[in-house]
A and B are shown apart, each in its own frame.
Chain A
Amino acid sequence: MGEILALDASGLTKVYGSGHTEVVALRDASMRVRRGEVVALLGPSGAGKSTFLLCVGLINPPTRGGIAIGGRRVQDGARSFGDLRRFRRENIGFVFQKSNLIPFLSAIENVQVVGELIGRPPSLARRRAMELLEALGVGPRAFNMPTQLSGGEQQRVTVARALANRPSLILADEPTAALDSKRGRQVMELFRDVAHEHGTGVIVVTHDHRALDVFDTVYEMEDGMLKPAAHEQVAETVRQPGTA
């Protein structure tokens, strides 16, 4: 007892559809992420990785299983406690494969809006957005519209947005798929630094085995089942999660 976990997901099962179109996307998946821990989630296509993130991100409820984030129990099966949207904007940051910026807002506004949603005064939200963009190396592009940014720049703005509410949990679904391996690695390292610095739990779905040494823990998902990665090469590169 005592330690507050960034995420405590237990026994998550997700069934899509019913009858002969039924797909069991998650089977009794459990994961505990400490504050400051960076977790990689590997697995073949269709294994259920995105489904897992959608469940713990409080976007799609699981069919069974419980979710606690930052020590607060928020989901028990399909039943949720409290206003999930509010919980998301205050506690979770999202990054997805496609950059997913709001097209009619500039880069800085895309980040700023998150701060304003959690009740920061606009000037403060803007200042903080600028700091994040600068830290991510896209400060000079702050006033560009998303379409005027390269894929990598868009992705970094998305990362800035995910950090803007100082979440206790960051969920990233193949955030580096659109980046070259150098930039991809930079984004992963950024996640790690943020996690270690602010005590944020981070889960990153990735196919990039070269950057696995950045992570504290590596899980593998197969056919809806989640297990710690046993892969030789993975085991060597992954450090002990002592930093958390």
Chain B
Amino acid sequence: MSGWSDVTVYTGAQQEDLLLRGSVDRARRQIQLFRVLLTLISAVIMALIIYTLTLDKLHPLALLKLIGAPNRTIIGLILQQALIMGGLAFGVGYGVGLKLFPMFPRRVLVTNDDLLRVAGIVLLISVFSSLLGIWKAMRVAPSEAIG
């Protein structure tokens, strides 16, 4: 049959693929883009939050440097803050999801794999968003603790 020029033969799987490709694929790509944008935006927001929290604490950070705390300790403090925030956000997100998804018109499927991936992304965002704050904290002079 595949020899005929004016007809193409599809297997079951190919048919399915063909039907799904057009509209569903476009929707999926849009959602994907949307997701990437949301991830970026949340990373920027979180970086700003961590940055302002760090600005708030420049004086005690200078003091820590003055009494001899190594950079390792100071970076640790900022990362810890970011990770706690990330963890909270993940928890809240998960909780809200559990409550909200049953109300959606379609069933939302969240597999353990998905959760793991999201946790990984949250971790990455937390670490990256701390960089700005860490950069600022590294530049504060110990003498600023006593101005």
Contacts and interface: CB of A to CB of B under 8 A. Distances in A.
A85 B60 contact: no
B145 A100 contact: yes
Contacts of A86: 68, 70
A102 B63 CA distance: 8
Interface string A133-164: 00000000000000000000000000001000
Interface in A48-94: 50, 54, 59-60, 85-90, 92, 94
A124 interface: no
Contact of B65 (A85, A96, A100): A85
A117 interface: yes
Contacts of A96: 146
Contact of B64 (A87, A92, A102): A102
B69 interface: yes
A118 to B, nearest CB: 8
A216 interface: no
Number of chain B interface residues as a range: 10 to 19
Contacts of B66: 59, 88, 94
Contact of B146 (A85, A89, A117, A173): A173
Interface string A104-140: 1000000001100100000000000000000000000
Contacts, number: 46
B67 interface: yes
Interface in B19-70: 57, 60, 63-70
A103 interface: yes
A89 B142 contact: no
Number of chain A interface residues as a range: 20 to 34
A89 B145 contact: no
Contacts of B142: 59, 85
Contact of B67 (A50, A60, A94, A98): A94
- Among B69, B73, B145, which residue has the most Cβ atoms of chain A within 10 A? B69
A117 B68 contact: yes
A161 B60 contact: no
Contact of A85 (B57, B63, B69, B143): B69
A100 B69 contact: no
A92 B142 CA distance: 14
Contact of B73 (A54, A59, A60, A117): A117
A84 B57 CA distance: 23
Nearest to B64: A102
A100 B68 contact: no
- Among A87, A98, A117, which residue has the most Cβ atoms of chain B within 10 A? A117
Given A85-B68, A88-B66, 7 more contacts: A60-B143, A85-B69, A86-B68, A89-B69, A92-B68, A104-B57, A117-B68
Interface of A: 50, 54, 59-60, 85-90, 92, 94, 96, 98, 100, 102-104, 113-114, 117, 161, 173
15 contacts: A59-B66, A59-B143, A60-B143, A85-B142, A89-B69, A94-B67, A98-B146, A100-B63, A100-B146, A102-B64, A103-B60, A104-B60, A113-B69, A117-B70, A173-B146
Q: Which 9 A-B pairs have the closest CB atoms?
A: A89-B68, A88-B68, A102-B60, A85-B68, A96-B146, A59-B143, A59-B142, A117-B69, A60-B143
